[in-house]
A = this chain, B = another copy of it.
């Protein structure tokens, strides 16, 4: 049965892809088995991360980029990581509009993943969902995240090219710096650039970027302007993505990064398993009960950890 599902995912069957991602999302025991079956068919998709503050227009930009990629004949998967509370419903509304715009295309697959308070595991789940889309034959996978926390940064860092989307309001720029987005952007987009303050943001960004280079390249970090609501600037965005992709591939940086990601993935799989095995609810209770005493220096953290290892609980 799982083999059946894997076969259909490889055949780019939409309901099968959806079911596969659900298995991953629910941390089903079958998820690991499925990922094992698909693994040899992964590694071909190019991963684009799109991040930025809420309201910057990331979804509209993603939709525009997706349409352009489709015109060029590429298959596209989209994972929208959404930290929205289940009560606001913002994600759902956005999803519905987006489904009408691009979701009816048989070679576009869109999936929202909500955090539901479990930010820690989200990074792992999003990466695994990527593997499923990758196996289904997508040429590009776009991961859309709201740039607000460590987990989102982790996800963005698995992307081959990371795009940071900002809008002229300076409040967003504050948020951006705080969230550490300056460090991870390979391309910066000033969206809603027909608004006041777009020039000033451009100057501020270029000042900051002049003092920085991309993490893995000496390629200048481009700052481009878009008006996503009017589909302006999408072609230029694609060109910059393509230039970054070619740059990475031309000098082995692409392969190195993928290998690094693999080593990280293995270390994470091992650590998750070790930690899960170790931190039984009994041990967590002990920590909770004794933290005060450790804080007060009645117990040392060294003795505490020794005891935990010897406790056998």
A interface, CB within 8 angstroms of B: 32, 35-36, 39-43, 170, 173-174, 176-178, 180, 182-183, 204, 207-208, 211-213, 215, 258-259, 262-263, 265-266, 269-271, 273-275, 278-279, 287, 291, 294-295, 297-298, 300-305, 308-309
Contact = CB atoms under 8 A, between A and B. Distances in A.
30 contacts: A32-B302, A35-B300, A35-B302, A36-B302, A39-B301, A39-B302, A40-B298, A40-B300, A41-B297, A170-B211, A174-B211, A174-B212, A176-B211, A178-B215, A180-B180, A180-B183, A204-B207, A204-B211, A208-B211, A258-B295, A259-B291, A259-B295, A262-B294, A263-B291, A266-B287, A266-B301, A269-B305, A270-B279, A270-B308, A273-B309
A220 B294 CA distance: 33
Given A35-B300, A180-B180, 10 more contacts: A39-B300, A40-B300, A43-B297, A182-B182, A258-B295, A259-B291, A262-B295, A266-B305, A269-B305, A271-B275
A297 B42 contact: yes
A86 to B, nearest CB: 28
A211 B302 contact: no
- Grouping DSSP codes into helix (H, G, I), strand (E, B) and loop, the A interface class, with mixed when no group exceeds half, is helix
B35 A211 contact: no
A177 B300 contact: no
